[in-house]
């Protein structure tokens, strides 16, 4: 059983306003509100962070990344699910009504 929340296709996601972050050649370092250690987003995680700058549904994020990397939508969805759920659990990403 997972402690992470499940992200539905129509959930609207965005970066948490209180999260501190910095982008660089290494990727994106994000510090969640109240966290002692940062999370480092590398590779496609950096692209996901870029897309999360504006409110987007999970489905929109998946389609954007699949198009960007010329990858099958189902592969991107499978790979991205645990990442989004973890970012949401850590408070780095928020849902909007």
Domain, as residue range, for 22: 12-96
Residue 37 falls within a domain, yes or no? Answer: yes
Is it the case that residue 11 has pLDDT exceeding 80? yes
Calpha distance 43→28 (Å, rounded): 9
Q: Regarding predicted confidence, which is higher, 8 or 95?
A: 95
User: What percent of the chain stands above pLDDT 90?
Assistant: 84
- pTM exceeding 0.75: yes
Residue 6 falls within a domain, yes or no? Answer: no
Each residue of 47-84: pLDDT tens digit?
A: 999 999 999 999 999 999 999 999 999 999 999 999 99
Structure tokens at 34: 């109240």
Residue 87 falls within a domain, yes or no? Answer: yes
CATH number at residue 56: 1.10.10
What was the pLDDT predicted at 5? Answer: 62
Residue 1 falls within a domain, yes or no? Answer: no
Mean pLDDT value across residues 24-33: 93
Cα 25 from chain centroid (whole Å): 19
Tokens 């509100």 label which residue?
A: 33
Q: How far is CA 31 from CA 21, 23, 67, in A?
A: 6, 12, 28
Number of domains comprising the chain: 1
Residue 85 falls within a domain, yes or no? Answer: yes
Q: How many CA atoms lie within 13 A of 30 on its CB side?
A: 26
């Amino acid at each position: 059983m997972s402690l992470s929340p499940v992200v539905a296709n129509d959930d609207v996601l965005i970066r948490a306003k209180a999260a501190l972050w910095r982008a660089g050649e290494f990727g994106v370092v994000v510090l969640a509100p109240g966290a002692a250690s940062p999370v480092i987003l590398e590779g496609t995680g950096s692209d996901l962070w870029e897309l999360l700058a504006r409110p987007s549904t999970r489905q929109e994020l998946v389609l954007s990344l699949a198009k960007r990397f010329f990858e099958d939508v189902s592969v991107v969805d499978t790979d991205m699910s645990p990442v989004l759920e973890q970012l949401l659990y850590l408070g780095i990403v928020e849902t909007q009504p």
